Structure 1
Amino acid sequence: MNKLSEVKKSFGNTFYIGSLPLGCRFCLRGSKLVLFITGLCDKNCFYCPLSDSRKNVDKVFADELEVSTDLEVILEAKSISAKGAGFTGGDPLLTPKKTLHYLKLLKDFFGKDFHVHLYTTGKYASKQVLLELKRHGLDEIRFHPEVEWWKAIENALNVGLTTGAEMPVIPREEYLNLLKRFMKYLSSIKAHFINLNELEICPPNYLALKQRGFKLAKNSLSAVEGSEEAAFQLLNWALTQGLELDVHYCPSIVKDRAQVKRRLARRAKNVVKGYQRVIGYQALLECIEIRLPKDFKINKTSLCMHLNIKPHMLKLVQEKGSLIIYINPQSPWRALVEKLKRDGGELIEVRRVKLLPSYKKTEVLSVPLSIKF
């Protein structure tokens, strides 16, 4: 490990001293599958961001998709061209058999270079479990422990795992003092890194944070006021201490702008249909939607021949009492509208629709189009 000498900015607009953890590099590129192993956890953090649909519930999610089969996990990983996975929760080590199963599944299918990191409180990180994780190919383990569970970090190092910690930066003096003590401990045992996350406000933890006097930072939708300033103070403090520890600070905005957006952009390229196009800079799918009366007679083959387009660029569906045509925005869709009008079609609506490339295909923007003839 190089001697820490300066704060550097990563390609994903995070900040670090020393080296950037390998798992973080994958995340910042959007190339990590987020595998939510279980919502079970007995740490009871007041700032926990888990929704009611996940918290204290033993369910598995691959990114946003609840899954029940191995195939669904593999398909989701392939849909984003994943180069690795992050196992999260809850605490995945509360269900060790399930965690080991998915670790083996992904390593067997994608190969040993498929990078997997795991988050845990450390309470259930016994030497036996850590040895099994190592044997199954876990690449990196990240602890979020209470003081009484710090010893588990040493155990992880002793079995040969790349070992670090991940903690939120709570802007309160007593917490920051404890965090400094923790960082010194990590350095003393030669842990590899600590990730410092900007504390976030979200619907599940809003009341708990508000009751403790926390509020949103100015011009932010999620960051807690004072958390980022405290994180930079910790980075500078680490430099003065000469710690043998890589320190990485990840602002809350990076999760949406880098990790999630880039993951969705990767997914969009893999799931786009012929009647859609990818808007890469927005990580969205776009199509033109033409709505007609349900009894309107139409022939897809003749339409495609008239427009000189391939059949996969157009889709016909009966939905909600209407006949709907979906067509690629880069096709001559205006010519299609003109033909439909000539053929006596009563256009109910023409829209430009933008969708998230997630499995639900959530509509995020719909613009009615006024067509003049």
Structure 2
Amino acid sequence: MNAYYRYLNSLVNKNKQEFGNYENINWINLWNTDELEATRQKLIRASGGQTLFKGTKPYVNQISDGCKICGAGAWSCLFITGKCNANCFYCPSPQKQDEPPESQGITFHTPLAYAEYINYFDFKGVSFSGGEPLLVKDRVMQYLKAIRSLCNPEIYIWMYTNGILSDDKVFRELADNGLNEIRFDIGATNYNLNGIKMAKGLIPNITVEIPAIPEEKERLMKLLPEMINAGVTNLNLHQLRLTHHNADKLLKHDYTYIPAERPIVLESELAALEIMSYAKNTKLPIGINYCSFYFKYRFQKAGYRKILANKLKRPDDFITEKGFLRKRNGTAVNYEGLTLYDENKPKAAIETDNLVLKHKTYGVHRSLAKRVDVDDRDQIAITDLLTSTKGNIPERADLFDLWQYEFIEKGLREY
């Protein structure tokens, strides 16, 4: 078994151990994976075969500017509150407390501090998420105004909402203060489009962003023309993911789980691809993309690492495609990662430098993510891997260890 398949096998073991208290998890079996893979490839071809970000984001027609910025790793998502007023069975986290605005574990108690952070790291896009942002609409407005008045005027700003508190006056105020895009999770409102209709003509770009629920596939297909008439230009379909928070609800559904870095729902992926195929074949004028778990796990994490690395690296650091800092030391290759902390967060036994800005001070922690010792007789193989632009997966364990910190894996993994 080569190193990559050993890695995949370790994911199987990790997932089954982590969720071992749940007896009714239907993990994918090898006996029908060839048939399932053939179905997936057929659906991708039927939807036009267009993909972005190394094959992890299949799409039809177009994707929004916000999605492009997200995939490029130039996006900051601000969780403006931790509280939500919906009760979606698929939600991966509790979302019961109104907490201070935070992004990547860093709290931003003032709009000035957040705008300064956006400028310092040169983010190209910002989103307001939650929880439900419209529960704290005045807070959203404060942060939106700060970004528009203090940051690059070209920055692209969008907001997520479940639409329960939709209000045309609020939408008009958001638009007047420069919100570029609004994204509705209509799964929270039984696929009601009233909020979208209120936003039409006010906010420039309207997107529906929902998990692909297998049971709702036919319903969503029939709803697409009405969504288009209501002003929706893009539909983003996420893959359902199993967490400890949603397990009791999610496991009541007859789903099959794939043991990736996190457990993901196979039928959710196939539903997304089938909806895309339907839109392509019926020539519907709407952009649809499948925001796969692999896209989010690989590109969003790497993107944030690179944002930090580009600003905080030392002169002799090399930034890998994965966003780690590489250094050669004889036959060893070291990979380091940067973490940004709230300065006052307890950091027992962690040595940090400080990043001191006008409105906030951060702790910067530089840690060894991986040390790979390689045979000095294999310098050609090592150099070939480190200078490659293809990122092909090596079979040897030591080279695979290097590859994991160098390159972003291509495509949707075979079932």
Cα distance in 2 between the residues matched to 1:281 and 1:191:
34
Aligned partner of 2:92 among 49, 55, 60: 49
Q: Report how far residue 206 of structure 1 moved.
A: 3.1
Letter in 2 for 1:365: A
Q: Which residue of 1 aligns with 2:143?
A: 102
Q: Which residue of 2 aligns with 1:60?
A: 101
Q: Report how far residue 252 of structure 1 moved.
A: 0.8
Does residue 168 (structure 1) correspond to residue 211 (structure 2)? The answer is yes
Cα distance in 2 between the residues matched to 1:171 and 1:134:
34
Aligned partner of 1:9 among 46, 51, 61: 51
Structure 1 residues 71, 12: CA separation in 2 closer, same or farther (over 3 Å shift)?
farther
Unaligned runs of 5+ in 1: 287-328, 335-350
Structure 1 residues 364, 45: CA separation in 2 closer, same or farther (over 3 Å shift)?
farther
Q: Using the TM superposition, name which of 213-222 and 90-99 deviates more.
A: 213-222
**8 Å contact kept, 1:217–1:226:** no
Structure 1 residues 362, 180: CA separation in 2 closer, same or farther (over 3 Å shift)?
farther
Does residue 233 (structure 1) correspond to residue 274 (structure 2)? The answer is yes
Structure 1 residues 273, 74: CA separation in 2 closer, same or farther (over 3 Å shift)?
farther
Q: Which residue of 2 aligns with 1:28?
A: 71
Q: Report how far residue 181 of structure 1 moved.
A: 3.2
Q: Report how far residue 151 of structure 1 moved.
A: 1.0
Structure 1 residues 100, 167: CA separation in 2 closer, same or farther (over 3 Å shift)?
same
Please state whether the residue corresponding to 2:338 is helix, strand or coil: coil
Q: Which residue of 2 aligns with 1:365?
A: 369
Structure 1 residues 7, 356: CA separation in 2 closer, same or farther (over 3 Å shift)?
same
**8 Å contact kept, 1:31–1:82:** yes
Cα distance in 1 between the residues matched to 2:182 and 2:156:
11
Q: Which residue of 1 aligns with 2:295?
A: 254
**Which of these two proteins has the greater Rg computed from alpha carbons?**
1
Please state whether the residue corresponding to 2:79 is helix, strand or coil: strand
**8 Å contact kept, 1:353–1:363:** no
Structure 1 residues 280, 141: CA separation in 2 closer, same or farther (over 3 Å shift)?
same
Does residue 81 (structure 1) correspond to residue 122 (structure 2)? The answer is yes
Q: Report how far residue 35 of structure 1 moved.
A: 0.8
**8 Å contact kept, 1:218–1:225:** no
Q: Report how far residue 125 of structure 1 moved.
A: 2.0
Q: How many equivalent pairs are there?
A: 302
Structure 1 residues 55, 363: CA separation in 2 closer, same or farther (over 3 Å shift)?
farther
Q: Report how far residue 97 of structure 1 moved.
A: 0.4
Q: Report how far residue 248 of structure 1 moved.
A: 1.4
Structure 1 residues 72, 62: CA separation in 2 closer, same or farther (over 3 Å shift)?
farther
**8 Å contact kept, 2:84–2:131:** yes
Cα distance in 2 between the residues matched to 1:72 and 1:190:
35
Cα distance in 1 between the residues matched to 2:368 and 2:247:
25
Cα distance in 1 between the residues matched to 2:47 and 2:367:
47
**Identity of paired residues, percent?**
24
Letter in 1 for 2:68: R
**8 Å contact kept, 2:90–2:250:** yes
TM-score by length of 1: 0.72
Q: Which residue of 1 aligns with 2:200?
A: 157
Q: Report how far residue 266 of structure 1 moved.
A: 2.1
Q: Report how far residue 126 of structure 1 moved.
A: 0.1
Q: Report how far residue 255 of structure 1 moved.
A: 0.8
Cα distance in 1 between the residues matched to 2:323 and 2:191:
43
Matches within 5 A, 1:77-156: 77-145=118-186, 146-147=189-190, 149-156=192-199
Q: Which residue of 1 aligns with 2:387?
A: none
Please state whether the residue corresponding to 1:214 is helix, strand or coil: coil
Matches within 5 A, 1:346-365: 354-360=335-341, 361=365, 363=367, 365=369
**8 Å contact kept, 1:28–1:259:** yes
**8 Å contact kept, 1:31–1:80:** no
Cα distance in 2 between the residues matched to 1:199 and 1:364:
32
Q: Using the TM superposition, name which of 104-113 and 133-142 deviates more.
A: 104-113
Q: CA RMSD in A?
A: 2.9
Letter in 1 for 2:66: G
Q: Report how far residue 99 of structure 1 moved.
A: 0.5
Does residue 70 (structure 1) correspond to residue 111 (structure 2)? The answer is yes
Aligned partner of 1:37 among 57, 62, 80: 80
Letter in 2 for 1:356: G
**8 Å contact kept, 1:39–1:58:** yes
Cα distance in 2 between the residues matched to 1:219 and 1:70:
37
Please state whether the residue corresponding to 1:38 is helix, strand or coil: coil
Cα distance in 1 between the residues matched to 2:321 and 2:273:
30
Please state whether the residue corresponding to 2:246 is helix, strand or coil: helix
Please state whether the residue corresponding to 1:235 is helix, strand or coil: helix
Q: Report how far residue 184 of structure 1 moved.
A: 2.7
Letter in 2 for 1:267: L
Structure 1 residues 11, 250: CA separation in 2 closer, same or farther (over 3 Å shift)?
same
Matches within 5 A, 1:241-280: 241-273=282-314, 277-280=317-320
Cα distance in 2 between the residues matched to 1:139 and 1:64:
25
**8 Å contact kept, 1:6–1:17:** yes
Letter in 1 for 2:234: F
Does 1 or 2 have the higher relative contact order (CA < 8 Å, sep 6+)? Answer: 2
